[in-house]
Amino acid sequence: MKQKPDLSFWSLWNLSFGFFGVQIAYALQSANISRIFRTLGADPHSLSFFWILPPLMGILVQPIVGTLSDRTWTRFGRRIPYLFIGALTAVAVMCLLPNAGSLGLSISMVMIFGLIMLMLLDTSINMAMQPFKMMVGDMVNEKQKGKAYSIQSFLCNAGSVAGFLFPFIFAWIGLKNVAPEGVVPDTVIWSFYIGAAILILCVIYTTMKVKEWPPQEYAEYNPVSEEKDDSANWFVLLKNAPSAFWRIGLVQFFCWAAFLYMWTYVVDAVSLTVWDTADSTTAEYQEAGNWTGVLYAIQAMSAVAWAALIPRFKNIKTAYTISLLIGGLGFALVPFCPGQYLQIIPFLLIGCAWAAMLACPFTLVTNALQGYGHMGAYLGLFNGTICVPQIVAALLGGTVLTLVGSNQAYMMIVAGVLLVAGAFCVFGIKTKE
């Protein structure tokens, strides 16, 4: 088997550039879905149900795209066709979803239309996101993979910050941040329009600049062999998984449930705490929605900075535990920071937990799986520890909200408690020396 050639910096950049646009779309969805559905008239107690779709689509779509693209060979490549189809679908949905309240439909039909659009958006974003990771695996040699994923990480964070800030920027330059009852403001609508335009331009750039290897050339650089029959038997793999796999999964459960509650209720929490209203028809609520995007951007930048410090800890479990405790404190502080700029402090702390959640679990689980084989299958199954907790938390969201007095700000305290519980569960993880 031939050694994959070294690629220039710009070849590595072009390979992942479309990820910038995809991440803008993902950030717009993460920061604005609750705001959009609350503006359309959704009850806070049913709001978490809308958040079942993102993890559900992720756990279904990404393995399917991976499996199908492994078997696809076209004149345009094997991964790029899925990337392009996903991006085109996402662009169409991004133009339709924020206009759900402007179509003259009844409230029930608006909710159904919004749910269908959200399902299509989740599906298309996942479909467009997965090929970028695969193309790096296909075309980049082991020596350069670290550099390739660093570029992808930079583009990912840059896209997130841009997407989070769009509504705030558009309000600052003069777009209307209020609209008739049940209609999404222009700041959000135009954020989705611009995000859709950037997404398709970035993807077109990548498809024009990247030429995937044809089957014969691909086979020269990559081992192509039939997998063993038992590699697809997930039940056997789970039965034989090391105890650390399940204990890390328990930590993941608490962490991802906590962040699901943040994404679901944080706009209302910030609006209640700073602007003293949870009425989605008010200008104050929409201003809180814009400011939440700024807070998300601050969280993303804090995560980048903290991620650089995590390797300095002598023990990864210590870094993981401290990060989650800091993040838990950040969540708990949200209802107690009544000033708009005071809210920056909690989100700086939450960024530390987010950085650890993206780095520590996969490091620990890959170390634990050394010698077990089937690394790809196990990591695919481990993705369930991200998606399943969000689905469970979304199903229980309305009940938990009722238990805390139907005050969305208190859901941030619930999220903080969940992160602290996750931090204590880290002590149960047994690592290899």
Kindly report, residue by residue over 414-426, the tens digit of the pLDDT: 999 999 999 999 9
CATH number of the domain bearing residue 377: 1.20.1250.20
Burial of 106 (0-12, 13-18, 19+ CB in 10 A): exposed
Residue 227: pLDDT band by 50, 70, 90 thresholds? very low
Note whether 359 and 353 are within 8 A (CB).
no
Number of structural domains, the chain?
2
* Contact partners, residue 5, CB within 8 Å, separation at least 6: 141
Q: What span, in angstroms and rounded, lies between the C-alpha atoms of 426 and 70? A: 36
Of the candidates 222, 250, 273, which is a domain's last residue?
Answer: 222
Tokens of 383: 């993705």
pLDDT in tens, 3-35: 788 888 898 898 888 889 999 998 999 899 999
Sign of CA dihedral 137, 121, 186, 302: negative
* Mean pLDDT on 65-78: 70
Give the pLDDT band of residue 181 (cuts 50, 70, 90).
confident
- State the chain's mean pLDDT as an integer: 86
Q: What was the pLDDT predicted at 373?
A: 61
pLDDT at position 127 is 80
Where is the domain boundary, 222, 247, 272?
Answer: 222
Q: Which of 41, 176, 208, 32 is nearest to 108 (CA)?
A: 41
CA distance 224 to 58: 27
249 and 216 within one domain: no
Q: Residue 139 above 90 pLDDT?
A: no
Residue 89, in any domain of the structure = yes
pLDDT for residue 62: 65
Indicate if the pLDDT at residue 150 is higher than 80.
no
Tokens 């969540």, residue located: 331
Residues 216 and 243 in one domain: no
Q: Are 255 and 357 a contacting pair, CB within 8 Å?
A: yes
Print the domain residue range for 61: 1-222
pLDDT for res 380: 67
Residues 185 and 329 both lie in one domain: no
- Give CA–CA dist 409/426, Å, rounded: 27
